[in-house]
Amino acid sequence: MKPKTLLLTMVIAAAAWAASPKAPQPTQAMRRAEAAITGDLIRAHTAFLSDDLLEGRAPASRGSELAAKYIAAQYERLGLEPVGPNGTYFQNVPMVGKKVDPAAQLGVGRDGQELTFNYFDDFVAGSDLEQERVAVRGELVFVGYGVIAPEFKWDDFKGADLKGKVLLMLVNDPPATPEEPELFGGKALTYYGRWTYKYESAARQGAAGAILIHTPESAGYPFTVVQSSWSGESFSLPRKPGGDPPLELKSWISQAAAEKILGRAGQSLAALQQAAARRDFRPVPFGLQASTELAQTVRRIESPNIIGLLEGSDPRLKNEYLIYTAHYDHLGVGKAVNGDAIYNGASDNALGVAHLLAIAEAMGRLEPRPKRSQVFLAVTAEEAGLLGSAYYAENPVFAPAQTAANINIDGPKTWGPTRDVIQIGAGKSELDAVAERVAHARGLTTRPDEYPEQGFFYRSDQFNLAKVGIPALYIDNGEEIIGQPAGYGAKKEAEYRARDYHQPSDVIKPDWDWRGAEQMARFLFEVGWTLSNWDRDFAWYPNAEFRAARLESRRPAGTAK
């Protein structure tokens, strides 16, 4: 956002807050209930959910079923009402599971002279087709970032006929320039930069396939994360009639493999990146054919979202809802690393579910209950592309128009109590001001995401609820760790991303400091308590891409747009 536009937004927001009813102030009853949230409680939930017994909690696995039943049992213990179909806590999400035989290879070349790349080491792949064998062959065409964004006057395709082609793409957004510092959000990643958008964009062009070039700088994580995330069973929601055509090939390729391919075409990655950064870029055909044959097992499965309700106390506001979300799935059992093949997902996201359960524990002890109703939603298949939350957004138990806000919890930290909290996707809604108010009262400073180029707001479940208009908040632990030297938090974050993220090593570690988890869960509890007891609406800012969906959801039936 441009500085003048941001200033105008802040002035408008400040005026709206000044005119709104006074914020609820913490009560002794709230503080007593908050005391139920302890590091020991969070550790106990995390320890069970990330135990080897649950085998990494892949959707529709034995471990996932155990996790779902554990969460439902906790809901029942806490007195939450089951509001899923058939009077249960479970909203079953239909999915298609596919697992590719790792013997697959990718060939790229011409005139019988092919470069050959090995699955896992050089590339990973899947397919939208529900077939046991998928053979793909098509001309390889470089299409830059694969973006069509009218609001930025950007079109990477320029009307080229790409039907049946295999598109080679860069991840992330086209970069901002000194002349246009806010192009595609500036440093912050937009949805155009996400890998999910790239595949959607290729499908709309009628392409046979899309191959994304991974670099650690553009993706924000090493290729090992791609390998672990894509080499197991992949999941998708069943395809809808009339939707985008299926992609036969959806692939990532390593930077080293990409540079070999480009070298064969007489191109360089650096030169193509430079060309793709311009509006006048046009697709570049290489005169090369890309081909592969995937053998895959295919199955139809179901995996549940788990939904519990704590009804509000106010006769009117109890018909409005605050939804807490946390995904309980992880990657299951995969390729062994240092002899360990179970991807336990302790931080990502057994710990987040533990926060959700601890907040539910405290909310249930409040007397009186919060004015708005509380919904606790543990979602499945986040790691497969936010599928559980996508299904809920399309099949909501509580209408988006009546849902006041969403607080999402994903990958919190255990490095110790902090002096700050981080607002992921700051500047989108008035929920920011609520979080800032609570932080200030607790002696914390708030900071925007320091890694906006990695697009975390678009990579977790609040994104799907935001897409249907629900104001959403995603808060992470800060990095100013009390009792630690400057830079300690940033160092721990970098170590986690490099070593443990989507790896078998994401387990509870001896140096985890559970005081940080307790601090964050208590902070989110107070934010939720404030939102639930404040008799006012919480709006998207005018610049937010989700504002139109909110307005549309609340438009009276039968009225003109």
Quick one: average pLDDT of 437-448? 95
Give yes or no for a cis peptide into 349 (omega within 30° of 0).
yes
Separation CA 104–CA 306 (nearest Å): 36
> What token pair was written down for 420?
């700050």
pLDDT band at residue 12 under the 50/70/90 scheme: low
> What token pair was written down for 350?
């057994």
Q: What angle do CA 186, 187, 193 make, to 5 degrees?
A: 90
The amino acid present at 338, given as its one-letter code, is: N
CA 434 → CA 75, 211, 377, distances in Å?
27, 42, 21
- Phi/psi region, residue 469 (left: phi>0; alpha: psi -120 to 50; beta: rest), is left
Residue 444 in this model has a pLDDT that exceeds 70: yes
- How does pLDDT run across 187-203, given as a tens digit for each residue? 888 889 989 999 999 99
Element (H, E) at 526: helix 514-533
Q: Most distant CA pair in the chain: distance in Å?
A: 78
Strands (E), 121-207: 123-126, 133-142, 148-149, 154-155, 166-170
Q: What percent of the chain has pLDDT over 90?
A: 82
pLDDT band at residue 561 under the 50/70/90 scheme: low
* Least confident piece of the model among 224-233, 254-263, 295-304: 224-233
Quick one: average pLDDT of 343-359? 98
Separation CA 368–CA 466 (nearest Å): 30
Separation CA 329–CA 350 (nearest Å): 8
Residue 232 in this model has a pLDDT that exceeds 90: no
- How does pLDDT run across 408-427, given as a tens digit for each residue? 999 999 999 999 999 998 88
Separation CA 6–CA 202 (nearest Å): 33
Q: Helices 39-49 and 62-77, interaxial angle, to 10°?
A: 150
Separation CA 367–CA 310 (nearest Å): 12
Residue with tokens 């907040």: 359
Q: What is the pLDDT of residue 381?
A: 97
CB distance 249 to 119 below 8 Å: no
Domains of the chain and any CATH numbers: 29-94+300-553 (3.40.630.10), 98-297 (3.50.30.30)
Separation CA 96–CA 127 (nearest Å): 11
Separation CA 149–CA 531 (nearest Å): 35
Residue 5 in this model has a pLDDT that exceeds 80: no
Q: What is the pLDDT of residue 22?
A: 82
Q: What is the pLDDT of residue 186?
A: 84
pLDDT band at residue 558 under the 50/70/90 scheme: low
Strands (E), 101-238: 105-110, 113-118, 123-126, 133-142, 148-149, 154-155, 166-170, 209-213, 234-236
- How does pLDDT run across 98-130, given as a tens digit for each residue? 999 999 999 999 987 899 999 999 999 999 999
- How does pLDDT run across 365-383, given as a tens digit for each residue? 999 999 999 999 999 999 9
CB distance 471 to 407 below 8 Å: no
Q: Helices 62-77 and 351-364, interaxial angle, to 10°?
A: 20
pLDDT band at residue 85 under the 50/70/90 scheme: confident
- How does pLDDT run across 248-299, given as a tens digit for each residue? 999 999 999 999 999 999 999 999 999 999 999 999 999 999 999 999 999 9
Q: What is the pLDDT of residue 3?
A: 39
Return the closest-CA partner of residue 381 out of 325, 324, 457, 335.
325
pLDDT band at residue 7 under the 50/70/90 scheme: very low
Separation CA 532–CA 539 (nearest Å): 15
Residue with tokens 């995603």: 474
Residue with tokens 């607080």: 407
- How does pLDDT run across 36-69, given as a tens digit for each residue? 999 999 999 999 999 999 999 999 999 999 999 9
Residue with tokens 């678009």: 458
Contacts of 106 (CB under 8 A, 6+ apart): 116, 117, 119, 122, 123, 125, 251, 253, 290, 291, 292
Residue 14 in this model has a pLDDT that exceeds 70: no
- What is the secondary structure of 14-56 as a DSSP string? HHHHHHSPPPPPP-HHHHHHHTT--HHHHHHHHHHHTSGGGGG
Quick one: average pLDDT of 148-176? 96
DSSP classification of residue 318: G
- How does pLDDT run across 469-526, given as a tens digit for each residue? 999 999 999 999 999 999 999 999 999 989 999 999 999 999 999 999 999 999 999 9
Beta strand pairing call for 284-310 and 133-142:
antiparallel
CA dihedral 480, 481, 487, 491 (to 10 degrees): -120
Give yes or no for a cis peptide into 238 (omega within 30° of 0).
no
Average pLDDT of the chain, as a whole number: 93
CB distance 89 to 234 below 8 Å: no
Residue 20 in this model has a pLDDT that exceeds 50: yes
Q: Helices 351-364 and 514-533, interaxial angle, to 10°?
A: 50
Q: What is the pLDDT of residue 19?
A: 54
Quick one: average pLDDT of 312-327? 98
Contacts of 391 (CB under 8 A, 6+ apart): 91, 93, 94, 237, 305
CA 365 → CA 31, 308, 329, distances in Å?
11, 15, 28
DSSP classification of residue 235: E
The answer to whether the pTM exceeds 0.85 is yes
Return the closest-CA partner of residue 280 out of 140, 181, 154.
154
